[in-house]
Amino acid sequence: MLSRASRQRWWRRAAIAPGTPLPQRRLFLLPTRFGLGWAVLVLLLLLFGINYQNSLAYGLSFWLFAVAAVALLRTWRNLLGVRASLRLPAETFAGGEARLGVMLDGGRARHAIEVHAPEASASVSLPEGHGEADLALPAGARGEHPLPLLRLESAWPLGLVRAVAWLASDETLLVYPRPLVEEIPEHRQAGAGLEATDFAGLRRAEPGDSPARLAWKQWSRTGVLAAKAFSVPPRQQLWLDYDACRGDPETRLSILCARVLAHHQAGDRYGLRLPGVTLAQGEGAAQRRQALTALARFRPAGTPGGVR
């Protein structure tokens, strides 16, 4: 018997790349238990017919053999030529789930195609020639992880055999640190700094102003209707520093991850300092993505490839 590692290496050699139509030489037919039982039944009926010269047994065995041959061909054609492509998750945090999308394009109707990963599986039919399945993969430790080997499989229509193929991708899954929510500063969670809340004086009222913002006392004294003006508080500009956090390296990265999310929600300008890595101050979705990517790829000193 081959070891699991040997089987994995063999399957990877037989796998196709995403976006490649499944060729005949990479498609394998494996009998099921039901199919083996069917074959035994055909053989027994044939032997019974030969031994007793029973035409009914002959006819039934030939009919079952013909049905099996047609089913085998239909199963093989159901998976042949299917093109599979992958959609990576938008973002994944350690300890959560990575929703890996598998898009299948068959060019014509296909039925009951199963997609299997080591810890997840899904089934999809392609009534119009295309479909999509989502695999909920558990996200382990932060960092870059290779995508698992996927298995495409179909036993349609009778389940006598399984058509099997493997899909291997060179892409990697980037897992961000798990944010420590309790470390998020409470005064930043509500999005302070995004709303105009500081009173800046009065201005002439204009059509469309909210009645709640009209200065009614001013109008009663002067007869001039004015509206209250507010200014937006200045956004914080700060640095998120690895050396200013406490705990082991993974705890520090989790704290920084939570702070990146909080300051992004608050609209602050922030930069990130890691040993050997400095991300300039910025804001918005691009800054958030760059900061989280830096945290995911950071290797502490003492680890292979880490900062020394």
User: What type of residue sits at position 303?
Assistant: T
How far apart CA 179 and CA 265 sit, in angstroms, is 14
Token pair 């993969």 is at which residue? 137
Contact 71, 35 (CB under 8 A): no
pLDDT over 60 at 190, yes or no = no
300 phi and psi angles, rounded to 5 deg: -65, 160
CB count, 10 Å around CB of 99?
A: 15
Q: What is the pLDDT of residue 302?
A: 59
Residue 308 confidence class, pLDDT cut points 50, 70, 90: very low
The token duo for 28 is 């394998």
How far apart CA 127 and CA 115 sit, in angstroms, is 17
Q: What is the pLDDT of residue 186?
A: 42
| Whole-number percent of the chain with pLDDT over 70 | 79
162 phi and psi angles, rounded to 5 deg: -115, 130
Residue 2 confidence class, pLDDT cut points 50, 70, 90: low
Complete DSSP assignment for 183-240: GS-HHHHT-TTSS--EEEEEEE--TT--GGGB-HHHHHHHS--EEEEEEPPPPPEEEE
Write the DSSP symbol of residue 156.
Answer: T
Residues 6+ apart with CB under 8 A from 232: 193, 194, 195, 196, 197, 198
SS3 assignment, position 275: coil
Phi/psi region, residue 216 (left: phi>0; alpha: psi -120 to 50; beta: rest), is alpha
Alpha-helical regions (H) of the chain: 4-14, 33-52, 55-79, 186-189, 216-222, 249-266, 284-297
The token duo for 21 is 């139509």
How far apart CA 279 and CA 295 sit, in angstroms, is 11
Phi/psi region, residue 299 (left: phi>0; alpha: psi -120 to 50; beta: rest), is beta
pLDDT over 90 at 90, yes or no = no
How far apart CA 243 and CA 240 sit, in angstroms, is 9
Each residue of 201-231: pLDDT tens digit? 666 666 766 676 677 676 667 767 777 665 5
Phi/psi region, residue 118 (left: phi>0; alpha: psi -120 to 50; beta: rest), is alpha
How far apart CA 277 and CA 143 sit, in angstroms, is 16
pTM confidence score: 0.74
Tell me the pLDDT of the chain averaged across its residues: 84
Each residue of 67-83: pLDDT tens digit? 999 999 999 999 999 99
Residues 6+ apart with CB under 8 A from 144: 172, 173, 174, 175, 296, 297
Token pair 């990697």 is at which residue? 172
Residue 66 confidence class, pLDDT cut points 50, 70, 90: very high
Residue 30 confidence class, pLDDT cut points 50, 70, 90: very high
How far apart CA 44 and CA 236 sit, in angstroms, is 82
